[in-house]
Structure 1
Amino acid sequence: MSKVKPTPEFKTEAEERAFWKKHDSSDYIDWAKAQSVSMPKLKPSIKTISLRLPEGLLDSIKIEANKRDMPYQSLIKSWLTDDVKQSRNV
């Protein structure tokens, strides 16, 4: 295995970003020594989308959400999450 190069000191985050765009991290980091980390307080990025639904369907979702005492958007996210997890296990 070749010797790992020392990582340069960066003055700004932009400078660091520019450096890593042009350089392969395997030249600077021994990935064989990498360890998994857990970041339990890290929140996933959220992206706002626009979703067109028939009014009747949206009304039904809102009624179901009301029965569960939760916002309808949260219910939709919960259903989508469950469905995607189920699809992966098929």
Structure 2
Amino acid sequence: MRKSGYGGASNMDRLPVFATEDVAAEWFASHDTAPYMDDLEDVTAEFRALRRRPVRKSAGLRVRADYLEAIKAAAERKGIPYQTLVQTWLAEKLRQEAPDLLPTGQAA
């Protein structure tokens, strides 16, 4: 939906077509968009409130070198940091073996 009556950009001053989102972001960061208001669409969006992350503590853990290399390789296959993979595996095993020890809502 296009708005009218703002005194938008002339045909010569239309919003450019951007090759990538990065190019668009750079352009919008460095230009005043007020003259282009007629060219912009109204958008309605809903956002969920972000949950707070649980408090995390560091835990020093000695692991066999070959295990650590295997963990890192598995994480690389998934495209995630190896610490995230270890955290995921720990959570999965806790849910299986000791769900009663997890905070309410995390045992599922």
TM-score by length of 2: 0.44
Identify if the C-alpha distance between structure 1 residues 53 and 86 changes in structure 2 by more than 3 Å, giving closer, same or farther: same
Structure 1 residue ranges, 4+ long, deviating more than 3 angstroms after superposition: none
| Partner Cα separation in structure 2 for residue 83 and residue 40 of structure 1 | 26
d(CA) in 1 for partners of 2:69, 2:53: 30
Aligned residue-pair number:
52
AA of the residue aligned to 1:69:
G
- Taking only the aligned residue pairs, the percentage that are identical comes to 29
Which of 72, 77, 95 is the matching residue for 1:85?
95
* One-letter amino acid of the counterpart of residue 75, structure 1: L
SS in 2 for 1:44: coil
- Structure 1 spans left out of the alignment, 5+ residues: 1-38
Q: Secondary structure at the match of 1:60?
A: helix
1-structure distance, mates of 2:79, 2:54: 24
The gaps in structure 2 that reach 5 residues or longer are 1-48, 100-108
Aligned amino acid, residue 89 of structure 2? W
Alignment TM-score, normalising by the size of structure 1: 0.52
* Aligned: 1:42 with 2:78: no
